[in-house]
């Protein structure tokens, strides 16, 4: 793909992201993306075949951006506690601006594709996060930073709490104090007091 094509594709994805945030997943058609991008329908179909494909690429792009932000802030001398704290801090930022994210669209996508596709991107992203957190917790246990806990259960618990906060932020709103309290409880369950 030429550099111009790469840039055009990126532009389409960035524009489509805004449309999905505004309208959700179910409310977006190829026509909406064509109009937002100010390109021809044929121009869009050169890059993508349908809204599913575009949405999955938008999710992947967002996941890569989140990974980049996270890796930039993790120093070489970072401890397991530092890394977990950074992870939870990034989650807090996302929760506080949740209505400005792809959350609604992502849940709509997940619910509309659950039966048809058991191994969808969102589910694999969740399980990947659990595995990463599990390794981080194991490292913290080895280094004496975290209490000896079932690292898989602790990692799943963190992710379930975060998912619950996401749903709560969409349905009724979640205060910063609530987020801080829940994250403090997660940390207290792991960190060994000195």
Query: Does the pLDDT of residue 150 top 90, yes or no?
Result: yes
pLDDT per residue over 154-192, tens digit each? 999 999 999 999 888 888 888 999 999 999 998 888 887
Residue 115: predicted pLDDT: 52
Beta bridge partners, 191, equal: 146
Residue 97: predicted pLDDT: 82
Q: How far apart are CA 161 and CA 14, in angstroms?
A: 29
Task: Give residues with Cβ within 8 angstroms of 137, minimum separation 6.
Answer: 80, 84, 146, 149, 151, 154, 155, 190
Out of 10-14, 43-47, 55-59, 189-193, pick the least confident.
189-193
> What predicted TM-score, i.e. pTM, was given to this entire model?
0.76
- Supply the DSSP string of 125-146, one letter for each residue: HHHHHHHHHHHHHHHHHHTTSB
- Closest among 170, 133, 125, 171 to 153, alpha carbons compared: 133
Residue 98: predicted pLDDT: 75
pLDDT per residue over 79-109, tens digit each? 888 889 888 988 898 888 877 788 888 888 8
Residue 65: predicted pLDDT: 74
- Distance (Å) of CA 192 to CA 79, 121, 139, 188: 13, 35, 13, 8
User: Hey, which bits of 48-176 come out as E strands?
Assistant: none
What mean pLDDT is predicted for residues 112-137?
77
Residue 109: predicted pLDDT: 84
Per-residue pLDDT band at 64 (split at 50, 70, 90): confident
What mean pLDDT is predicted for residues 115-133?
75
Query: Does the pLDDT of residue 193 top 90, yes or no?
Result: no
Give the domains, in start order, of the chain with CATH numbers.
Answer: 1-57 (1.10.10.60), 74-194 (1.10.357.10)
Query: Does the pLDDT of residue 114 top 70, yes or no?
Result: no
Residue 171: predicted pLDDT: 82
Q: Quick check: helix, strand or coil at residue 191?
A: strand
């Amino acid at each position: 793909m030429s550099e111009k094509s790469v840039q055009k594709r990126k532009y389409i994805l960035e524009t489509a992201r805004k449309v999905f945030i505004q309208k959700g997943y179910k409310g977006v058609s190829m026509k909406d993306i064509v109009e937002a991008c100010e390109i021809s329908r044929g121009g869009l179909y050169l890059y993508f075949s349908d809204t599913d494909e575009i949405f999955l690429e938008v999710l992947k792009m967002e996941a890569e951006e989140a990974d980049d932000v996270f890796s930039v802030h993790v120093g070489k001398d970072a401890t397991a506690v530092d890394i977990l704290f950074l992870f939870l801090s990034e989650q807090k930022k996302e929760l506080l601006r949740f209505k400005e994210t792809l959350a609604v669209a992502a849940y709509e996508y997940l619910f509309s594709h659950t039966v048809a596709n058991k191994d969808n991107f969102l589910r694999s992203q969740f399980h990947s996060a659990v595995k990463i957190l599990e390794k981080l917790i194991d490292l913290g246990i080895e280094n004496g930073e975290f209490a000896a806990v079932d690292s898989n259960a602790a990692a799943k618990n963190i992710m379930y709490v975060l998912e619950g906060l996401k749903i709560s932020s969409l349905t009724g709103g979640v205060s910063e104090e609530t987020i801080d309290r829940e994250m403090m409880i997660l940390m207290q369950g792991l960190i060994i007091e000195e």
